[in-house]
Structure 1
Amino acid sequence: MKRILTLTTTLAGVALATSAAQAQELNIVSWGGSYTTSQIEAYQKPFTEMTGIKINSIDADNPVTPLKAQVEAKNVTIDLADVELSDAVRMCDEGLLEEIDPAMLPAAPDGTPATEDFIPGALTDCAVASIVWSTVYAYDDSKFTGEKPTTIADFFDLEKFPGKRGLKKGAKATMEMALMADGVDAGEVYEVLGTPEGVDRALAKLDTIKDSVVWWEAGAQPPQLLADGEVAMTTAYNGRIFNAAASEGKPFVIVWDGQIMDFDLWVIPKGAPHLEDAKKFLAFSTDTQRLADQAKWISYGPARKSSAPLVGLYQDGKTEMGPQMPTNPDNMSNALLNDFEFWADRDTELSERFNAWLAS
C-alpha cells in the first residue's frame, strides 16, 4: 500500500522554499498502521511544512525486503527506511547502507551532544534510533471472566487458559519468549539460545502449543485476531495493542512480563536518490521534540533521554503516556533487551531451524 502526502504549506512570514538542488520529494518506507501514522503526524507533516518537500510514505511488512532488493539491483528509489536493530547492523556490515556521522544530529535543548543524549545502543555506524518498542503478549479482557493471565508462562498454559494463541511466524522473539516461559531467566536467554540444547528447549516449549497457534506476519494482524475472537491471546507489538485499546475502545490488556525490547532505527540505503535531503529528514525526525511528539500517537518510548520529560498525553487528551511505555519501570521487572549482535550473527541459522520445525 502506498500513501502519498502532498503537503505544501509554507510557514507564515518565512521564505523556506526549496532550492533547485533539493529533492521535491522523499520516499520513506515503514511498517504501516498506527506506527506509520505516528511518524506522519510527528515527523513528516512538520518536515513538509518547514521545507516544502513532499513525503511519499510507503508501507511494507518488513522494510528490509524492498531496501535490500533495490540496493542489490542497483536501482534504488527508497531514501530512508525504518528497520530493526539487528537488520541495521547486518545490512551495514554488508555495505548496503550509508554511514551516518552522529555530528549531523541536533543536540539536546540543554546543549548535550546527540552522542550523549541518545540512550545506549541507539546509535550505530549506519543507523539512528527513534523509538524503543516491545514484543509483548495481550488478551481480550472480556474473554476471561475468572483468573487473568499475568506471566509469560501463562501464554503457554493451555490447560489453565484454554484457547488459540497468536504467534509471529519467525524465530526472533518467539524463541526467546518460549525459553522465558520455560523458566530461563531473562539475563540468561541468549546464553541458552546460543547452544544446540537451548534451541531444542525453545522448540520443545513451542511444541506444547503448536497445534493451537494461529501464525501472524504483519503487525496489524494481532489486534485483528483478538478483535475477531480467533485467538484468546497473541504476541504483538505493544503500540498496536495500545492503539486498539485507546483509539478503538477494544478491551485488550498487555502482559508486560517477558517483554522483549528493541529499537527501530532510520537507515539510508546506498545509492539513495536524494541523499542530502534524506539526512535532513533523519536529523529533523530524531530531535528531542519530534521524538516526544511521536509518543502522542503511539506508546513507543523515545530513543533520546531529553525527550522523556516532554512525553505527555495521548491524542485523546486524557491518557498519560508515560505508564504505557515499555521503558516504564513498572513494566520492566522481567524484560529482555533484544541482543542485536546475537541475531545479526545467528538469524539465518535459527530461522532455518525454526522454519524446519514449523514445517515438520
Structure 2
Amino acid sequence: MRHSRVPHPNLARPSFGVLAGLALVSTLGVAQAADNMVVVGYGGAGQKALSDAFFKPFAKASGAPLTEGEYNGEMARIKVMSDTGSVDWDLVEIEAPDLARGCDEGMFERLDWQRIGGADQLIADAAHECGSAAMVWSVALAYDAGKLAAAPTSWADFWDVQRFPGKRGLRKRAVYNLEFALLADGVKREDVYKLLATPAGVERAFAKLDQLKPHIQWWEAGAQPVQWLAAGDVTMTSVYSGRIAAAHQEGNNFAVVWPDSLYGMDYWAIIKGSKHVDRAQQLIAFINKAENQADYVKRIPYGPVNQQTFDRLDPQLTGWLPSSPQNMAQALPMDVEFWTDHGEDLEQRFNAWAAKK
C-alpha cells in the first residue's frame, strides 16, 4: 500500500499509468486552464458517467465551459500545485484517506457548506470540511446464483469450504480481507476495527486467513472476480459492487450478500489556490442534487450520496446500490483513520504472509 493509501475501486481507472496520466492533463495547457475550470477524475467508464450526468449539463446550465482531465490519484502533483500556487486543476476526485491527509496539510480549500447547501440531505460523512462525497463504493461477497444449490449468507459461509466447495476470490491486499476474516470468525461489525487495532485482533485475522489460504485465488484487477465467476473458476468472491451490478445488468445471474459488506466514499475537493473556487462549489451543489445523482446512478451503479435520490430510482436498481438504506444498514463503513494509521504496516505483513507457501 503506497503510503497507507486505501486502494480505489473505480470501475475503470486509466491503464496507461501515472506518467501518461500526468502527460494527458499537461496537454490541457495553462492558458486553457486559466479560462476554464478544470475538473479531474479517474477516467474510464466512471468518468464518462460523471461527464454525461454532471459536467456537461452544468456547463450548459451555467454558460461557463469546463475542461475535463484524468489522473491516477497521485497526490504528489496536487501537493506541488498547492505548495507553489501554480494551480492548473480546480476540482479533483480523491480518495477519503488522501482527502483527510491533504486537508490537514492545507492542500485543499475549506468548503462553504452554507453556500453549497443541501448538507442535510447527504448521507453521514458525505459533507467534509474539505470535500463533498462523489459516490459510495462497496466490496461485498458475490456468487453465481445459477450454480449454487444453496445461497451463502455470510462471510462465515465464504470460509466454509465443506458446505460450499471450490475456490474463493479475494483481493491481494490486507485492506478488506482483515475485516472479512474477523467477520467470518464471529466478530460483530461494530467491534471489527476496535479489535483490529490490537495485536491480538491482527493475529486472529491472519489466523482466520490461514484457514482459507489453500482455497484462495487472488485477484488484483477489479474485472477479474466477475470474469472468474462467469467462468466458474471460483465459487464465491469478494468484488466491487459496481462491477457485479454492471455484470448483472448485462444478463448474468449473479447475486450479492449485502450483510457485512464494506463501503467507503470518494470525494470532490478543490485544490488550494484554485482561481475558480466559487464555480467549483457551484458544481458541487449541482452534483449533489437528487435529480442529477439519479441520472448518474442510472448510467453507472455506484451509490448516490443524496438520500432523496432513491425516491427517483427503480427499486430493482436501488437493491444493487451500496448506499440504499437497506444495504447501508447492514454494512461496515471503512474506518479511514484506521487504514491511514496502520495500513502501511499491515500491508507489509500481509505481503509477507501471502508470499509464504
Normalising by structure 2, report the TM-score.
0.79
Q: How does 1:302-313 map to 2 (within 5 A)?
A: 302-309=304-311, 311-313=312-314
Distance 1:152 1:275 in 2: 44
Which of 186, 203, 207 aligns to 2:206? It is: 203
1:285 and 2:287 matched: yes
Quote the offset at 1:202 in angstroms. 1.0
Normalising by structure 1, report the TM-score.
0.79
SS of the equivalent of 2:94 reads strand
Equivalent in the alignment of 2:347? 351
Q: How does 1:1-360 map to 2 (within 5 A)?
A: 1=14, 23-24=35-36, 26-30=38-42, 32-33=44-45, 35-50=46-61, 51=63, 53-58=65-70, 60=72, 63=73, 66=74, 68-74=75-81, 77-105=88-116, 107=117, 114-144=118-148, 146-246=149-249, 248-270=250-272, 277-309=279-311, 311-313=312-314, 320-331=316-327, 334-360=330-356
Distance 1:166 1:21 in 2: 43
Distance 1:174 1:291 in 2: 30
Return the structure number with greater helix share: 2
Per-residue CA deviation, residues 84-109 of structure 1 (Å, 9 max, x unaligned), is 3233212322333332222331x3xx
Quote the offset at 1:231 in angstroms. 2.5
1:333–1:127 CA distance, 2 compared to 1 (3 A)? closer
Q: Which residue type is aligned with residue 294 of structure 2?
A: A
Quote the offset at 1:332 in angstroms. 5.0
Does the CA contact (< 8 Å) of 2:93 and 2:269 recur in 1? Answer: yes
Per-residue CA deviation, residues 196-246 of structure 1 (Å, 9 max, x unaligned), is 010111111112222333333343333233234333222112121111111
Does the CA contact (< 8 Å) of 1:80 and 1:268 recur in 2? Answer: yes
Does the CA contact (< 8 Å) of 1:138 and 1:241 recur in 2? Answer: yes
Q: Which residue type is aligned with residue 65 of structure 2?
A: I
1:138–1:262 CA distance, 2 compared to 1 (3 A)? same
SS of the equivalent of 1:123 reads coil
Where does structure 2 lack aligned partners over 5 or more consecutive residues? 1-13, 25-31
Moved more, 163-172 or 196-205: 163-172
SS of the equivalent of 1:283 reads helix
Moved more, 127-136 or 206-215: 206-215
Equivalent in the alignment of 1:316? none
Q: How many residues align?
A: 324
SS of the equivalent of 1:324 reads coil
1:78–1:211 CA distance, 2 compared to 1 (3 A)? farther
Identity percentage over the alignment? 39
Does the CA contact (< 8 Å) of 1:312 and 1:322 recur in 2? Answer: yes
SS of the equivalent of 1:260 reads strand
1:78–1:159 CA distance, 2 compared to 1 (3 A)? farther
Q: Which residue type is aligned with residue 130 of structure 2?
A: C
Where does structure 1 lack aligned partners over 5 or more consecutive residues? 5-19, 108-113, 314-318
Structural RMSD (CA): 2.9
Distance 1:178 1:225 in 2: 21
